[in-house]
Structure 1
Amino acid sequence: LQWDEELANQIRSLSDPPSTEHPNDADQLMLVSGLEANMIQYKYFTNDSCELDEPCIGNAGWRRVLMFDSSDENVGGANLLIGEIYQVLDDYTQVHASVTNHGLYEYDTCHRHYHFTHYGSFTFGNSDPTKGKRAFCLISTGRQANAEWSSLWSPFYSCTYQGCTPGWTDTYQAGIPCQWIDITDYSTTNSSITGSLTAIMNQDNMLCEGQLVLDAQGNFTWEPTEFTAINGETVFKQKCVTGTNPSTLANNIHQIDVTIPTDGNGYVTVRTE
């Protein structure tokens, strides 16, 4: 088939939905499809389980957990840039980078990787939002938008350098530790319970959904927040201009109804040691 510009223009994919309306901003959209991929399991946890330290379970022993995917897409036209989390030296030791030096990411001695506690808030009904997901690797896991404005390649493919490319998604799959809500205390002995599974991305506005403010050398600039790190120091966040399009913060929430069946129905039993 010879080159035919007219024919090629007929199959161009300029704005495969969701198309970018914010060409100069990063804009993370929480996808409802992730919440729809949910399941309920019984899982067993020992007294030294890392999940108790998070905490994303109420107690050790058998727990009933509502698992689900968490997926958010950058529907803006600019990278959601977090940056370098750490450097790995030739002797395999890790050296903190700017993001960790400012407390935005913190090293978890139990899981032995860095945690980002402000990734999202996940609740079922009236569950406690502080007992839930801790992100550790916000990267471009898949290309969602088949459009010319979305690059075929993303530089954010490793936990050492994190962010999300326009048109790409960051997905945490159900089954990853703490990618769930502990629903053990909901009584379904006599009847099922239906409640709202709610996900809020970037609930503390710690990620720059807009444009980063850089210094003359192109480095991040930082500002203090109300949050405190494990070591008692103030957590800083990257300075960001979100006023270019305030709607970038309005699409960070999704909610669906989920039914917990009566006891003995719809469960998978798993024991973890």
Structure 2
Amino acid sequence: MRMRFARSCAVVGLLAVTGCKDDPQPRPDAGTPDDGGTSVTPTLSETPRWQVFGDGTNPHECFGRTVALGDVNGDGRKDLLVTSAPCSSTRTDPGRVMVYAGEARDFTKTPVTTTLTWVHPSPRASSYRMTVTTGDIDGDAYADVLVATSYGVSVFKGGPDLSQLLIQPVFRAPDSTTLRFNGARLLDLDGDGKDELAVSTLAGELTVYRATPGAPEGAFTAVRTLTGVPSPAGDADGDGVQDLAVTHDDFKVELFLGCKAGSARVCEGPLTASPVWTGQAELFAALPDLNGDGRPEALLLLDGSQRLHLSDAVAAGYAPQVTWQPMDDAAFPLFGQAFLTFSKTVVPVGSMVEGGTGHDFAVGAVGRAYLFRPTANVSGPLEPVWAWPRANRLGLQTSLGTDYLGMASAGDLDGDGYDDLVLGVSPGLSGTPAGTPSGSGGPSALGQVMIFGGGAVPDSQEPAPALAPTRTCGLQVDPVNGKPDLTVDRDVIARTLYLERRSFTADSCEVREGCVPAGGERRLLRFTTSIMNMGTGPLVVPSPEERPDLFVYDECHEHHHLTNFAGYDLKDAAGNTTSVGRKQGFYMIDFTQYCADGQPYSWYDPGTGISPGWSDVYTADLPCQWLDVTDTPDGEYTVRVGVDENHIVDEAGTLPNEVTVKVRLTGDTVTVLP
């Protein structure tokens, strides 16, 4: 499955927006003990401090796609919960949750594993999109567990026996044959120390349940019905209780304040009767206090890019102006986005970096996590101080895979005075899991969960971690007479090139489709392609029904491919072609926004297309996204990538339809040359 289908989920409403805990508090300053000058300041981990892999029991499961922490057994130490659920929506596996008990430092590596039980009446019911989070529904000494999927929402009580933790829920959200869930959150909206439960459905209904432990009606009682998808907003008005953001299919976002008992506000249940602020966003995430007013900020996804809105100094809500607009990087796309789970992609991490204010935060993308250390009173753009992987390019040995990352703030697990970060890296959605040098084998093909420690920013020979530049393009879009102008992003190719050895069976799809000439082990030069439309009109490709001459039906993938749209080849110093990639066939979509002033993304049903200022991205892990260089001697070559060279569409023709990158091949290493 291509990552771009995550964008498809967004348009039909299969969203799960993330939220954040209360702003982490800065570490108290207890002074610096006299150690005789022998102490060494910890540095941010470049490699995992602690690491576990999936057990490989079910090859269809994505171990590590979501992670959560909480003291579920009440021993005073945080425990780690990891989901291992189906990678694909076509599977009906029930899914599993692994619990790694907390130890004096980090966690045991021997989990307690439970296979979940679901009661949804649909024959297609599965644990796809399974997300695990923790909270406190009854104010006791145990953290409680929320497990949500598209087909069920269950709450489990914590207790001393981890083997019994997930056997029987104390509450299941009501379901029916046609009902699908679209998000669930535990958060204390009324300040009584017990979390409410907010559950949304794909049809758009949002129900808020109040915790009623021990009551005859059960552990939760429905007290408010709204529409939309819930997202914790932190304490937006500083009254000491959590507030709730709600996003809608039309990209409207509303802020409802939590209501304490006896609140002077007009309340219905634990929330204000009406929203106190309304804005525009596809996804909402709360950030720690960045401007020094004691209130959290909002990171809003709109039209393909994130927008930071600082809290309003006058009223509850957020300022209308955009303080920072980070752009998506096609090499590590979907910054701050997650559509395959209900998990967090924007995570406050407290005091993780030396010299911060206690309001550090991390933002995930496909295959990369960025760490930010805001200084006091932020009023402009932010830059990451660190990233995992550190380099601004793909590398097999340091890769964090080709899927969304599971992310959770861990607090200070090792007592060194700096908070830590947990990252879950599930197996790739398609193709070869990045980070597996041998191709289809190796432990990282099982998925993994890692802990990265906090500390000072270490010295590095690598350039500083970078986001894509925020740029305005000034495209004069003409919906009637405008034409697309296609080109390929050379920088993305150069930063994603890597060599991989992979074995194929003689009857594999890759052999049958001509992506490799024969079975056996092959040496592949892989890279990501970003096809940009920088014209004045959209690229629109008609459907196979309208233009069957442009397509071929792929029996392996069971759908049509656009033929001869993009070509890859490798040339030697004399200009001779030494390797040719299969003529690629694509399904076009607005995937990455290149222009801060760009158009909203569009659909071109029944055809496909790319809007002005957008690109479609084909990540390096995808099947056939390579040049086979098995029989190519080591040396210097030129990688050429061309798009629409047969003029399938009517273009403006201002920008070149091909780009080239000079490389040196040496064994299993590729070096980009000037």
- Would the TM-score normalized by the shorter structure come out above 0.5? yes
* Other-structure match for 1:127: 578
For 1:17 and 1:50, the matched residues in 2 are separated by: 42
Q: Helix, strand or coil: the match of 2:547? A: helix
Matches within 5 A, 1:147-186: 147=597, 150-156=598-604, 161-186=607-632
Q: Helix, strand or coil: the match of 1:84? A: coil
For 2:472 and 2:661, the matched residues in 1 are separated by: 21
CA positional deviation for 1:18: 4.5
For 2:473 and 2:566, the matched residues in 1 are separated by: 21
Aligned letter for 2:660?
Q
* Other-structure match for 1:194: 636
Aligned letter for 1:47?
A
CA positional deviation for 1:127: 2.9
Aligned letter for 2:648?
M
For 2:608 and 2:510, the matched residues in 1 are separated by: 24
Aligned letter for 1:80?
L
Whose helix proportion is higher, 1 or 2?
Answer: 1
CA positional deviation for 1:203: 1.3
Backbone CA RMSD of aligned residues: 2.9
Verify: 1:105 aligned to 2:557, yes or no.
no
Q: 2:560 aligns with which of 114, 139, 144?
A: 114
* Other-structure match for 1:76: 535
Q: Is the 8 A contact 1:200 1:253 kept in 2?
A: yes
For 2:656 and 2:593, the matched residues in 1 are separated by: 19
CA positional deviation for 1:54: 2.3
Structure 1 pair 53–253 and aligned structure 2 pair: CA distance change class (3 A): same
Q: Helix, strand or coil: the match of 1:127? A: strand
Q: Helix, strand or coil: the match of 2:536? A: coil
For 2:637 and 2:622, the matched residues in 1 are separated by: 23
Aligned letter for 2:601?
W
Runs of 4+ in 1 over 3 A off after TM superposition: 15-19
CA positional deviation for 1:135: 1.9
CA positional deviation for 1:73: 1.0
* Other-structure match for 1:45: 504
Structure 1 pair 135–48 and aligned structure 2 pair: CA distance change class (3 A): same
Verify: 1:20 aligned to 2:479, yes or no.
no
* Other-structure match for 1:238: none
Q: 2:664 aligns with which of 247, 259, 264?
A: 259
Structure 1 pair 20–151 and aligned structure 2 pair: CA distance change class (3 A): closer
Q: Normalising by structure 1, report the TM-score.
A: 0.65
Aligned letter for 1:32?
R
CA positional deviation for 1:166: 0.7
CA offsets, 1:97-156, max 9 Å, x none? 2123xx111211122121112211111122344x42422312111211111xx2223225
Q: 1:207 aligns with which of 641, 644, 649?
A: 649
CA positional deviation for 1:187: 2.6
CA positional deviation for 1:197: 0.6
For 1:119 and 1:43, the matched residues in 2 are separated by: 26
Tell which structure's C-alpha radius of gyration is larger: 2
For 1:19 and 1:30, the matched residues in 2 are separated by: 19
What percentage of aligned pairs have identical amino acids? 24
Q: Is the 8 A contact 1:54 1:134 kept in 2?
A: no
* Other-structure match for 1:67: 526
Q: Helix, strand or coil: the match of 1:98? A: coil
Q: Helix, strand or coil: the match of 1:34? A: helix
Verify: 1:144 aligned to 2:586, yes or no.
no
Q: Normalising by structure 2, report the TM-score.
A: 0.28
Q: Is the 8 A contact 1:194 1:260 kept in 2?
A: yes
Q: Is the 8 A contact 1:198 1:253 kept in 2?
A: yes
For 1:19 and 1:40, the matched residues in 2 are separated by: 38
Q: Is the 8 A contact 2:578 2:632 kept in 1?
A: no
For 1:141 and 1:161, the matched residues in 2 are separated by: 16
For 1:143 and 1:74, the matched residues in 2 are separated by: 10
* Other-structure match for 1:212: none
> How many pairs does the alignment contain?
200
Q: Is the 8 A contact 2:489 2:532 kept in 1?
A: yes
Structure 1 pair 127–138 and aligned structure 2 pair: CA distance change class (3 A): farther
Structure 1 pair 17–194 and aligned structure 2 pair: CA distance change class (3 A): farther
Structure 1 pair 68–246 and aligned structure 2 pair: CA distance change class (3 A): closer
Q: Is the 8 A contact 1:133 1:178 kept in 2?
A: no
For 2:582 and 2:593, the matched residues in 1 are separated by: 27
Aligned letter for 1:208?
D
Q: Is the 8 A contact 2:486 2:534 kept in 1?
A: yes
CA positional deviation for 1:19: 4.2
For 1:19 and 1:33, the matched residues in 2 are separated by: 21
For 1:29 and 1:246, the matched residues in 2 are separated by: 9
Aligned letter for 1:255?
T
